Amino acid sequence: MGKVRNILQGKGNVVFSVAPTVTVYKAIELMSLKNIGGLLITDAYGKLLGIFTERDYARKLILKGKSSKDTLIGEIMTENPVTVSPDNSIEDCMKTMTNRFIRHLPVVDDGELVGMISIGDVVRYIMDEQRGIIEDLEFYITGHHQ
């Protein structure tokens, strides 16, 4: 099975992040514009401070009656998120996401934020890997690709 670095090579290392002083409204606007379900919160030096997801929005803002235009993202972000390194296996990521009920994993290499993977990225990688294995087996059995 592959490594996190394999996913990042395929999707790129683009990381969408905001400062903790941004309003929740602005963060949600960015998430909608980029069609993403999670946003990383970083300081001015790019150090990871937390993560904000659609789940945080629903549970920590809407259900508590707070206003997205008056609340700073730093107030409701999940601090110290679970992270992985580029060398973690896809299988380990899948186990972590399943066991901890999370859908996004920031990727940190030697203390530097280098990307983020989602459960969708993990599933897509596994499906592509399995498709390749099936094609190889078909070639082995029949002598040609279907």
pLDDT tens-place string over residues 65-77:
889 999 999 999 9
Is the pLDDT higher at 134 or at 14?
14
What letter represents residue 67's amino acid? Answer: S
Q: Which helix (H) or strand (E) holds 29?
A: helix 24-34
CB distance 118 to 103 below 8 Å: yes
CATH number for region 4-142: 3.10.580.10
Domain residue extents for the chain: 4-142
Measured N-to-C along each axis, helices 90-100 and 119-142 cross at an angle, to the nearest 10 degrees, of: 140
Short-list 48, 56, 131, 36, CA closest to 101: 56
The model carries a pTM of 0.85
